[in-house]
Structure 1
Amino acid sequence: MSHFWGDAPSIEDYWRGIILFGKNVASYKFALAQSLLELAPGGKSIITLDELAEPFARHTLEHLRLCDSQSQQTNVPYPFLEACRHYDRGEISYEELISITAKEGFKVVLDKFHNVNQGETPLRFFACERRGAKAITLTDELFGMLSGNQGQNLPQEVDARWRLVETAWELKVSRHLINVDYDADLELLFVQRPMSRTNITSCRSALNGYQKGKCFYCFGEISIISSAADLTDVDHFFPRVLINYRIAHPIDGIWNLVLACVSCNRGVGGKFDQLPQLRFLERLNTRNEFLIGSHHPLAQTLIRQTGDSAPKRCSFLRGNYTAAKTGRLINSNWQPAFEYPPAF
């Protein structure tokens, strides 16, 4: 985590650390994160559990309908999850669901939300006066984060992370056996099943947090909102034309996909089918190690694609770079005209 946060972490870095790197045996963290992002723009600092219960239950319901495998992770019946199922079967009213949520839904998640790698983040996004309190207090850090340039991207990042975790549960196989593929036409991540495939999430939403909301090449701000003027491109670091030479296989692997601003990717003097300067290879390795440091299934996918140890992964990248450059198949000296201070 210290590697991801760096020497001067931003508010968004701490938030993404919680969402991307925490271990996940339940999805309450994601439901709470989405609820905080939804409620904070209303401007209220003190949120009662009754108020928090409505979005918390709603977001949980939406995902249980996609994948109802959560309780199988611990083999413990959760009254809140059972209430969600009872509501979906028409056995209780929505008001009863919200009441049960306020009483049962927050017994663990409020205390555990800020925990990452067996410790707590130095910065908090809400505070509880005491265990069993009936309200939480949203912090200035949460409000400040949402007013920043990356605020609009965060809900999609949380949802993408949630779907990746659910996919591992839904397939009911070891996370070591799950491989996430990329559909270049739809720009979606998916898992191939024996008779079909499961679409998971947008590639942009899944990768943006690991790049801290920055263009991979120039570190300018990017957006993953489909209607945004600065919507990021999904770029192949090793250009896709190398597929003809069997270099950088699998060329469509997650290891080779980065998010880049339109200017860097295909603007005047843009990258197009060129290979970036060698110094960018270390940046790709750093970004990939962020993914490795997260939990299933993206981490295992990258390990299978590039190597089961850090030295092997470095060797994989350098070997492909040397092959592409030595063969003089493409220009290998591209760099952006301008770069902002490094973000990772």
Structure 2
Amino acid sequence: MTLFTEVQPTLENYWRSIILFGRNVASYKFALGKSLLELAQRGAEIVTLDILAEPFSRNLCEHLQLANRQATSKSSRFLDACRKFNSGDIQKGELLDVTTKLGFNNVIDAFHIVHDGEIGVRFFTDERKGSEKGIRLTQDLFRLTEQFQYRNLPTEVEARWRLVETAWELKLPRHVLTVDYDAESELLVMNDRMLKRKAITGCRDALNGYQKGMCFYCFSHISVESTSDDLPDVDHFFAHTLKPHGLGCSIDGVWNLVLACQNCNRGSKGKFTQLPELKFLERLHRRNNFFIESHHPLRETLIYQTGANELARRHFLQTTYNMSKELLIQNWKPEHEHEPAF
């Protein structure tokens, strides 16, 4: 297994390992993550639980309106209070009181745990037993706000959250969560039980974290902000033009989608519909394994589509590559490449 932070163990990649990896039994980690990114902008080190309660409960109340199921447990007094607030049965003050008492019982202790161990940095320390009755934001969190990739982190949290809650809400076996890319809307879409297409989240937002905010091909920085000059294209590693040739796989599946800077995808010497050099196939394999190792909602879908184990997935990609090579002949690589990020 290739650890996500093994190459380029930066602050933003430690943060991404928290949000993107690990089993999810409730969505509290996402609510806390979004709250921390918001509170870090205010500059105060000490955040009492009653202050933390406002953005934490607000984020959960907003998502309960999108998907009523926000945990795998059958009941939660805290989530019930959020539902009552949404329906107008309790006031904001009562919601904040319940959040302060019940909302942080497990998430503060569990936030920095990934793969059964604590990550190498902390973005806050637990001060609940001290006089402050809250958390202390660390310098690592404040330094995180100064990084280029910081602008991408809120949307990455949101995208992961939407995928998790959608999977819970549909209550479908994960191997039938057929999620494809809709080029017109630039969204990931899923079919529900009635075979109705359901938009889940922005494709760029969902993919970006697993590429560490870098172009898949040249590792230049990209941004998922819609107005940014660094906005990447959603690229089919195996070109969409191969779809009619019967490769025997879903070309629009997440396994085949990467984010590419505009220069790599459609610059003067861009990829367009060409087949990337063989070394990029290994990179695609690593990226897909990040999805699988993260217990992503699409984990079982990727396994179902590409193979039950690493050897089978390698064979699937190599077979698809060989068939594509016979059709496209020429290989492509970017003009310039930065130091590899994964």
What is the TM-score of this pair, normalised by structure 1?
Answer: 0.95
Question: In structure 1, what is the equivalent of residue 293 of structure 2?
Answer: 293
Change (3 A) 1:7 1:217: closer
- Give, in whole Å, the separation in 2 of the partners of 1:169 and 1:117: 21
Q: 2:105 aligns with which of 93, 104, 107?
A: 107
Change (3 A) 1:154 1:3: same
The Cα of 1:237 is off from its aligned counterpart by: 0.7
Question: In structure 1, what is the equivalent of residue 36 of structure 2?
Answer: 36
Question: In structure 2, what is the equivalent of residue 230 of structure 1?
Answer: 230
Residues 15-46 of structure 1: CA deviation (Å, up to 9, x unaligned):
11111112101010000000001110111111
Q: How does 1:263-274 map to 2 (within 5 A)?
A: 263-274=263-274
Matched, 1:167 2:170: no
The Cα of 1:63 is off from its aligned counterpart by: 0.5
Matched, 1:117 2:115: yes
Q: Check whether the contact 2:128–2:135 (CA below 8 A) recurs between aligned residues.
A: no
Change (3 A) 1:30 1:38: same
| CA RMSD, 1 decimal | 1.5
The Cα of 1:130 is off from its aligned counterpart by: 4.8
The Cα of 1:173 is off from its aligned counterpart by: 2.5
- Give, in whole Å, the separation in 2 of the partners of 1:79 and 1:41: 30
Q: Return the letter of the residue paired with 2:249.
A: H
Question: In structure 1, what is the equivalent of residue 320 of structure 2?
Answer: 320
Q: Check whether the contact 2:291–2:299 (CA below 8 A) recurs between aligned residues.
A: yes
Q: Check whether the contact 1:238–1:248 (CA below 8 A) recurs between aligned residues.
A: no
The Cα of 1:318 is off from its aligned counterpart by: 0.7
The Cα of 1:131 is off from its aligned counterpart by: 4.6
Question: In structure 2, what is the equivalent of residue 215 of structure 1?
Answer: 215
Q: Check whether the contact 1:69–1:169 (CA below 8 A) recurs between aligned residues.
A: yes
For the residue of structure 2 that corresponds to 1:31, the secondary structure is helix
The Cα of 1:190 is off from its aligned counterpart by: 1.5
- Give, in whole Å, the separation in 1 of the partners of 2:253 and 2:195: 22
- Give, in whole Å, the separation in 1 of the partners of 2:138 and 2:270: 41
Residues 217-262 of structure 1: CA deviation (Å, up to 9, x unaligned):
0000001111111101000111111112123621111111000000
Question: In structure 1, what is the equivalent of residue 146 of structure 2?
Answer: 147
Residues 261-296 of structure 1: CA deviation (Å, up to 9, x unaligned):
000000110101111111111011111111111224
Question: In structure 2, what is the equivalent of residue 86 of structure 1?
Answer: 84
Q: Return the letter of the residue paired with 2:90.
A: I
- Give, in whole Å, the separation in 1 of the partners of 2:39 and 2:148: 18
Q: Check whether the contact 1:126–1:137 (CA below 8 A) recurs between aligned residues.
A: yes
Question: In structure 2, what is the equivalent of residue 11 of structure 1?
Answer: 11
Q: Check whether the contact 2:276–2:331 (CA below 8 A) recurs between aligned residues.
A: yes
- Give, in whole Å, the separation in 2 of the partners of 1:256 and 1:70: 29
For the residue of structure 1 that corresponds to 2:180, the secondary structure is strand
Q: Check whether the contact 1:242–1:248 (CA below 8 A) recurs between aligned residues.
A: no
Residues 188-234 of structure 1: CA deviation (Å, up to 9, x unaligned):
11110214222110110101010000000000000111111110100
Number of aligned residue pairs? 340
Q: Check whether the contact 1:182–1:188 (CA below 8 A) recurs between aligned residues.
A: yes
Residues 112-134 of structure 1: CA deviation (Å, up to 9, x unaligned):
11111111112111001355861
Change (3 A) 1:8 1:296: closer
Q: Return the letter of the residue paired with 1:178.
A: L
The Cα of 1:135 is off from its aligned counterpart by: 1.5
Q: Check whether the contact 1:179–1:300 (CA below 8 A) recurs between aligned residues.
A: no
Q: How does 1:49-88 map to 2 (within 5 A)?
A: 49-71=49-71, 73-75=72-74, 77-88=75-86
Matched, 1:45 2:59: no
- Give, in whole Å, the separation in 2 of the partners of 1:248 and 1:215: 27
Q: Return the letter of the residue paired with 1:125.
A: F
The Cα of 1:8 is off from its aligned counterpart by: 4.4
The Cα of 1:7 is off from its aligned counterpart by: 4.6
Q: How does 1:241-320 map to 2 (within 5 A)?
A: 241-247=241-247, 249-320=249-320
- Give, in whole Å, the separation in 2 of the partners of 1:41 and 1:332: 48
For the residue of structure 2 that corresponds to 1:5, the secondary structure is coil
What is the TM-score of this pair, normalised by structure 2?
Answer: 0.95
- Give, in whole Å, the separation in 2 of the partners of 1:291 and 1:54: 32
Residues 295-327 of structure 1: CA deviation (Å, up to 9, x unaligned):
2421112112111111111011111111122x2
- Give, in whole Å, the separation in 1 of the partners of 2:176 and 2:152: 30
Q: How does 1:324-339 map to 2 (within 5 A)?
A: 324-325=324-325, 327=326, 329-339=327-337
Report percent identity of matched pairs: 55
- Give, in whole Å, the separation in 1 of the partners of 2:290 and 2:209: 10
**Structure 1 unaligned residues grouped into runs of 5+:** none
